[in-house]
Structure 1
Amino acid sequence: MKVRIAAVQYLLRSIKDWDGFENQVRFMLKASAEYKPNFVMLPEIFTSQLLSFMDADNNIKAAVRRMHDFTPRYQDLMAEMARKYGFYLIAGSHPNLRDGLLYNTSFMFSPQGEMFMQDKIHRTRWEREKWDTSSGSKLHLFQTEYGAVSILICYDIEFPELSRMVCEAGADILFVPSSTDDRQGYWRVRYCAHARAIENQVYVAMTSTVGNLAVEGLGMHYGQACIMTPSDFPFSRDGIASEGVTNMEQVVVADVDLDALMQNRINGTTIPLYDKMREVYQNPVDIIKTQNSTTKS
């Protein structure tokens, strides 16, 4: 089965009100829909664009919490777009309050407008120290008619155990909404995402915010969308199905073949998803001292 993925490189620009945000989202999702995708993904915390018309200068921690007030409007808009265009929408991520705690949550909407959630599990230093977010505690695998998918938000893809868990549970595609401010940050996420595609024999789609905002910690963004494959004969050269132009507003589209993925997991040049030596992983690391323990005079 062929599945089409569209990843949006979302340009952060200053806006004056909610309407400015909504108009840009509608435009980008309409443009994405023209490619007839099964999945569309927006970047991590792209809703931070709302901070450009809020008072964020004096207290960024409080300002981010006020973004929660827009959560119902954000959810209604994304559900409407998913229903209108008939795709699954991984609607980036959005800071939201639950029981007084702030989470960085990716919301996924089905073509029927149903909403699903995946909290970010590993927080960056910025999220801990400046935004004071809370960690998610559970991974989810979403069974869709276009394969089983999971969402790992940005930093979470740098922890291989998470990807292995959802892939052993049956994931076909990992979605990685991301937001990075510099080149090395982007490539940390990108290199790790591609490693996860190879070691788990899974497709990985990531996208990033681009542009800039006059908001503390969000001034500059470095990003590029990319749809990655395992590295083997049935897939694209270099394991890249499609990638965007760095730091440009655009939609990156690729078709991925779930049947080829299933065959590669059994008949691939290597089959790392199934070749894991589980019994070895249960043993503690054997620490051996090699230096001479006697002191020579």
Structure 2
Amino acid sequence: MKVRIAAVQYLLRSISDWDGFENQVRFTLKAAAEYKPNFVMLPEIITSQLLSFLDTDNDIKSAVRRMHDYTPRYQDLMAELAKKYNFYLIAGTHPNLRDGLLYNTAFMFSPNGEMFTQDKIHRTRWEKDKWDTAAGNKLHLFQTDYGAISILICYDIEFPELARQVCEAGADILFVPSSTDDRQGYLRVRYCAHARAIENQVYVAVASTVGNLPVEGLGLNYGQSSIMTPSDFPFSRDGIAAEGEINLEQVVIADVDLDILAQNRINGTTIPLYDKRREVYQNPVEIVTSLCGPRKL
């Protein structure tokens, strides 16, 4: 089965009210819909645009929490557009309050408007120290009409155990909504995402923010959306199905084939998803001393 993925490279620009955000999202998803994708993904903290008209000068923690007030509007907008255009929409992530705690949550909407969530599990230092977010504790595997998918939010893709866990549970595609402020941060996500594609013989899509906002921590964004494959003969050269131009607003589109993926997991040049020697992983690491004392000159 062939599956078409659209990964949006979303431009953060200043807006003056909710309508500015809604209009940009509507325009962007209408443009993506013209390619008839099965999945569309927006980047991490896409709703941080709202901070450009909230008071962030005195207390960024409080301002981020006020974004929760827009959660119903955000959910209604994304559910409406997923239904209208008949695709699965990984609607970026949105900070939201539950039981007094702030979570960075990815919201996914099915073509019939049903909503699913995945909290970010590993927080960056910025999220802990500046936004005071809480950590999620559970991974999900979503069975869709176009294969089994999981969502690993930005920093989470840098932890290989998470990707291996969902791939052993059956994931065909990993979606990675991301937001990074410099080239080093972007490359950490990009290199780890591609490593996860190779290690687990899975497709990995990354959606990035670009642009800037007059808000602490969001003054610069460096990003490049991409759709990556395992590195083997049936797939694209260099294991890149598609990628955008760095730091430009655009939609990155690629078709991936789940049947080829399934065959490669069994008949590939290497089959790392199945070659894992589980019995060895149960053994403790043996620490060996090989000290030689001070070096003699």
2 CA distance for matches of 1:37 and 1:294?
Answer: 63
Work out whether 1:216 is the aligned partner of 2:188: no
Pair 1:95 & 2:78 matched:
no
Distance change >3 Å, CA 54–CA 280, structure 1 → 2: same
Distance in 2 separating the partners of 1:198 and 1:281: 20
User: Are 1:144 and 2:144 an aligned pair?
Assistant: yes
Deviations 1:101-147 (A, max 9, x none): 00000000000000000000000000000000000000000000100
Amino acid at match of 1:238: D
Please name the residue that 1:112 is paired with: 112
Cα-to-partner distance string for 1:216-236 (whole Å, 9 max, x where unaligned): 111000000000000000000
TM-superposed deviation, 1:292: 3.8
Number of matched pairs: 296
CA distance, structure 2, for counterparts of residue 173 and residue 295 of structure 1? 52
Q: Are 1:10 and 2:21 counterparts?
A: no
Q: How does 1:248-263 map to 2 (within 5 A)?
A: 248-263=248-263
| 2:197 match | 197
Q: Does the C-alpha gap of structure 1 residues 295 and 7 become closer, same or farther in structure 2, counting only changes over 3 Å? A: closer
CA distance in 2, matches of 1:292, 1:68: 59
TM-score by length of 1: 0.98
Q: Deviations for 1:265-287, whole angstroms, at most 9, x for unmatched residues?
A: 00000000000000000000000
Q: Residues 11-55 of structure 1: CA distance to partner in whole angstroms, max 9, x if unpaired? A: 000001000000000000000000000000000001000000110
Report the alpha carbon displacement of residue 295 of structure 1 after superposing the two structures with TM. Answer: 12
Inter-CA distance 210–288: structure 2 relative to 1 (3 Å threshold): same
Identity of aligned residues (%): 83
Give the Cα–Cα distance (whole angstroms) in 2 for the partners of residues 293 and 67 of structure 1. 59
- Alpha-carbon separation, structure 1, partners of 2:270 and 2:57: 52
Any stretches of 5+ residues in structure 2 without a counterpart? none
The residue number in structure 2 matching 1:290 is 290
- 2:234 matched to which residue of 1? 234
Indicate the SS of the match to 1:273.
Answer: helix
What whole-Å deviation, never above 9, does each CA across 1:195-218 have from its counterpart, x for those lacking one? 000000000000110000000111
Deviation, 1:293, is 7.1
Give how far 1:294 is off. Answer: 11
Moved over 6 A (4+): 293-296
- 1:29 equivalent in structure 2: 29
Distance 2:56 2:19 in 1: 19
1:55 aligns with: 55
Shift in alpha-carbon separation, 1:279–1:52, aligned structure 2, 3 A = same
* Cα distance in 1, alignment partners of residues 57 and 284 from structure 2: 49
Q: Is residue 76 of structure 1 aligned with residue 76 of structure 2?
A: yes
Alignment deviations for residues 52-96 of structure 1 (CA, whole Å, 9 cap, x no partner):
011011100000000000000000000000000000000000000
- Which amino acid letter does the alignment assign opposite residue 213 of structure 2? L
